[in-house]
Amino acid sequence: MAYFGTNGVRGKFNELTPDLALKLSQAIGIYLGRGRIIVARDCRLTGETLRCAVVAALASVGCKVIDIGIASSPTAEFMIKKLKADGCIIISASHNPPEWNALKVVDGKGVAISKERGLEIEKLLGSVAAVQWDRIGKIERYDTANAEHIEAIKALIDSKKIKKKPKVILDCGNGTAALIAPKLFRDLGCEVITLNGQMDGTFPGRPSEPTEANVKELIAAVKTKGADAGVAWDGDGDRVIFVDEKGNYVIGDRVYALCVIWKLGKGTKAGSEIVTTVATSKAVEDVARRYGVKTRYTAIGAPYLCEEMMRKPAALGGEEVGGVIWPEFSLAKDGFLTAAKMAEAICEKPLGRWLGEVPAYYNVKRKIDADDKQKKVLIGRVLEHAKKSRLDYFDIDGVRVNLKDAWVIVRPSGTEPYVRIFAEAREGTEAKRLADEYEKIAKGEKKG
């Protein structure tokens, strides 16, 4: 059985048990060269129990453990370079419901471990042997990671720009964002109102994923308090979404498009490129093209983004759900640095006006029931259609067909018995027409 998914090993407590966490962490320790390993966890109720298993496992195979305690994912990943660590294990199920937890693994270069590299770790499971009693690794507590992360972000932000003292409402969602965001934004000179700012592993304030439906309280607060912006993070702080001054929700890939405008607008080096996944809105590619910057696409999942940015430099990386990588800082999606850059931007002009520079697209989502065998058949039909019709397409992760001012992706769900169709166009009617057309093509009801 494979344990690693797209980004780490995820499960409810009866699946990701302390016993499994211990065995996997021993194998991870060996895979990472029995070196210096950072361990962090979020505030979930199962976190401390799993931490004990992870820390014991790493020490038992001879790793030196640097336990930074409760910290966000970008904080743990930022500390890898700073502490010259050989990797980290983050105990966090990100945006999942509170009964879930996960082990996310990142190597010494800051690259998250993909499913494929996870298989290499799983191969070691049968041959794990603890070291001799006098060779077990030291376990050290390190208590200043959050403060160091905040200071490092501040060093990248031009605080003179923030003298206008924008009013921002921060929805920490009872997650680890509470450790970073309120202090960071106050230090930067913003007027801060915090929602759900107490860490609580049951996530009583709102579900951990910052979807529009889940941040209704934030949207209402921005309007009633007359704030310049609202910001909400997921449970481990790598993903961020915004609410503009009029209370409009800014979805993840538009957050990324804003970052592209902000960064590339400050000047681009010749030959600069940006990276994103095949599920990201064309708005991102459109804004990058304005600066003469090409977009490179990867499979869906943070590890693939990281790997691609490691393989060939890029000015920025980002995914459709609001995770943005600033490579001059770390290869982690950092929701705090991303939000701090926005604070700088809104002192130049309101968020709504920045958003006016991002082309509007409409999308339609579909799913078709399909078992593993049918998934291959359906995707195969779409690929054949794209080839026969000489369309511009990528088949990195499912099949994405690129059309003028529109695109459609047909891809198998990694975890559920569905093939998903996602179509995007400048008009809602065109997006629907495309979704209908590709549903028929996938089902074999329409010949290409």
State the catalytic residues.
94
Cβ atoms of 154 and 183 within 8 Å: the answer is: no
Q: β-strands 191-195, 167-171: how paired?
A: parallel
Which residue, 236 or 245, is less far from Mg ion as judged by CB? 236
Hey, what are 286's tokens?
A: 């459109």
CB of residue 238 to Mg ion, shortest distance in Å:
4
CB of residue 7 to Mg ion, shortest distance in Å:
9
CB of residue 3 to Mg ion, shortest distance in Å:
19
Which residue, 239 or 282, is less far from Mg ion as judged by CB? 239
Q: Identify which of 168, 201, 202, 171 has the alpha carbon closest to the alpha carbon of residue 185.
A: 168
CB of residue 8 to Mg ion, shortest distance in Å:
11
CB of residue 45 to Mg ion, shortest distance in Å:
18
Round to whole Å and give the CA distance between 236 and 374: 35
Which residue's CB atom is positioned nearest to Mg ion?
Answer: 94
Which residue, 114 or 272, is less far from Mg ion as judged by CB? 114
How many Cα atoms within 13 Å fall on the side-chain side of residue 321? 16
Helix axes 145-156, 335-346, angle to 10 degrees: 30
Round to whole Å and give the CA distance between 242 and 220: 13
Which residue, 236 or 308, is less far from Mg ion as judged by CB? 236
Residue 356: count other Cβ atoms within 10 Å of its Cβ.
11
Which residue, 238 or 245, is less far from Mg ion as judged by CB? 238
Phi, psi of 362 (to 5 degrees): -115, 145
Residues contacting 219, CB < 8 A, separation 6+: 212, 230, 243, 247, 249
Round to whole Å and give the CA distance between 206 and 216: 9
Round to whole Å and give the CA distance between 219 and 203: 18
Residues contacting 217, CB < 8 A, separation 6+: 171, 195, 205, 206
How many Cα atoms within 13 Å fall on the side-chain side of residue 367? 9
- Burial of residue 282 (CB within 10 Å: 0-12, 13-18, 19+) is buried
Q: C-alpha dihedral over 53, 87, 100, 72, to 10 degrees?
A: 110
CB of residue 240 to Mg ion, shortest distance in Å:
10
Sign of CA pseudo-dihedral 423, 425, 429, 434:
negative
Which residue, 171 or 236, is less far from Mg ion as judged by CB? 236
Which residue, 94 or 146, is less far from Mg ion as judged by CB? 94
Q: Which DSSP helix (H) or strand (E) runs through 422?
A: strand 418-425
Q: Identify which of 34, 51, 54 has the alpha carbon closest to the alpha carbon of residue 42.
A: 51
CB of residue 368 to Mg ion, shortest distance in Å:
28
Which residue, 234 or 253, is less far from Mg ion as judged by CB? 234
CB of residue 367 to Mg ion, shortest distance in Å:
23
Give contact residues for Mg ion (rule: CB under 5 A): 94, 234, 236, 238-239
Round to whole Å and give the CA distance between 2 and 187: 45
Round to whole Å and give the CA distance between 340 and 248: 19
CB of residue 277 to Mg ion, shortest distance in Å:
15
Which residue, 89 or 401, is less far from Mg ion as judged by CB? 89
